[in-house]
Amino acid sequence: MEHGKSGPSSWPEMADVVPVPQDDGPSPVVPIAYRDDFREVMDYFRALYCAGERSPRALRLTNEAIELNPANYTVWHFRRLILEALDSDLQEEINFIEKIAECNPKNYQIWHHKRWLAEKLGPGVANREHEFTMKILALDAKNYHAWSHRQWVLQALGGWESELQYCNQLLEEDIFNNSAWNQRYLVITRSPLLGGLMAMRDSEVDFTIEAILANPRNESPWKYLKGLYRGENNLLVADERISDVCLKVLKKDWSCVFALGLLLDLLRLGLQPSDELKAALESTRHYDPEMADDDFATTVCCILQKYDPLRINYWSWYKSTLSS
């Protein structure tokens, strides 16, 4: 169809179809000034949709409708019905959807359609799906839709073999990429090839601590480090590497709220302050040489109130829970 034209002459194969115009009611307040080509396509679409027609021309019509508005859920739904009815070549459909997705990488309907295709085609398309999401993520490393699709493909169709390496690559390019940290956690906890979190924890702690010491103000590895001990607070407290990295960072910068926050968690969970930590605290104006060991968490709360003013009320509340 040639855009800009209207009427049956612009699409002869629709000559037998009576277009169904959009019903905006008897007195639309602010009618939308649709382009002629858009109005024509959608009028024909409504006619075939209402008639339930599953035909090659109906499929071609959805091509036109999607090109004009790739976010139209009803058009995508109708297209899937037609593809199934015609037993269409879904490999060709993948080519179609990828071209659309490259121009509309944050369109919910496109990614939903892509998942539907992958479900139909099965594990044989896993590598292609991963390659496509890598292409999208190379343009926008935090595209939520691409990450969500990639995670679904991994868990439903496979392709875990090189995923940890891919996470390493992304973090080498940008250690602040929180999406890559999140993906890394998925891999070490869900991959059937790595043995699970317990098998990976020790090496992951070393990796994360190295990232923290290189960029202490990067929140992602701090969160990741805690996640490595999720549900196992006793092991978190017992691992001296955790308190050591907090202390190393704080010796250089007492305003690092991420180190302070993790240290506070450790103290609340029963960490006994070392002589080195006590000595370090002497450099702060909140330190009291006569304090009992169980007051160190209160001291850290006071420091957080100073260096994290946006959450001063939260730290005040936290401190009150410690005293109670």
pLDDT tens per residue across span 14-38 = 999 999 998 888 887 888 888 989 9
pLDDT score of 276 more than 50? yes
Tokens matching residue 80: 């899937």
Q: Which domain holds residue 58?
A: 1-88
Query: In the prediction, which pLDDT does 28 show?
Result: 78
106 catalytic residue (yes or no): yes
Asked if 236 and 226 touch (Cβ cutoff 8 Å), the reply is: yes
Q: Which of 60, 88, 116 is the last residue of a domain?
A: 88
Q: Please indicate, yes or no, if residue 126 is contained in any of the structural domains.
A: no
Question: Which residue do the tokens 């790739």 mark?
Answer: 70
Q: Give the pLDDT band of residue 287 (cuts 50, 70, 90).
A: low
Amino acid at 251: K
| Residue 1 banded pLDDT, cuts 50, 70, 90 | very low
Ramachandran area for residue 28 (φ above 0: left; ψ -120 to 50: alpha; else beta): beta
Q: Is residue 193 part of a domain?
A: no
What's the mean pLDDT in 85-90?
A: 97
Which DSSP letter does residue 27 get? S
Please give the Cα distance from 129 to 133 (Å, whole number): 6
Per-residue pLDDT, 324: 64
pLDDT band at residue 2 under the 50/70/90 scheme: very low
Q: Read off the pLDDT band of 6 (50, 70, 90).
A: very low
Maximal C-alpha separation, the chain:
93
Among residues 69, 88, 107, the one where a domain terminates is 88
What does the pLDDT average to over 189-200? 96
Cα 130 from Cα 127, distance rounded (Å) = 5
Residue 24 counted as domain residue: yes
From the number of C-beta atoms within 10 Å of its C-beta (0-12, 13-18, 19+), residue 135 rates as: middle
Which run of H or E residues covers position 258?
A: helix 257-268
Which of the residues 106, 120, 142, 252 is marked catalytic? 106
User: In which band, very low, low, confident or very high, does the pLDDT at 290 lie, cut at 50, 70 and 90?
Assistant: low
Let me know if residue 52 belongs to a domain. Answer: yes
Structure-token pair, residue 185: 């956690």
* 247 pLDDT more than 60: yes
- pTM listed for this prediction: 0.88
In a domain? residue 164: no
* Whole-number pLDDT of residue 5: 42
Q: Two tokens at 315?
A: 């730290």
Cβ-based burial of 283 (10 A; exposed 0-12, middle 13-18, buried ≥19): exposed
- Structural contact between residues 86 and 115, judged by C-beta atoms closer than 8 angstroms: no
Which secondary structure element, helix H or strand E, spans residue 38, and what is its range?
helix 36-51
Distance CA 2, CA 11 (A): 8
Give how many domains the chain has, as a whole number: 2
Residues 69, 72, 74: CA angle, nearest 5 degrees: 140
Asked whether the CA dihedral 46, 11, 108, 24 is positive or negative, the reply is: negative
Rg (the chain; Cα; Å) = 29
Q: Which amino acid is at 253?
A: D
Residue 219 forms part of a structural domain = no
- Nearest Cα neighbor of 193 from 154, 137, 147, 225 is 154
Query: Is the residue at 170 inside a domain?
Result: no
Query: What are the C-alpha distances in Å from 266 to residues 42, 244, 254, 259, 282?
Result: 61, 11, 17, 11, 19
Cβ–Cβ < 8 Å for 264, 302: no
Of 73, 88, 103, the domain-final residue: 88
* Domain presence at residue 93: no
In the chain, % helix, strand, coil (3-state, to 5) comes to 70, 0, 30
Nearest partner of 149 among 181, 125, 173, 172, judged by Cα: 125
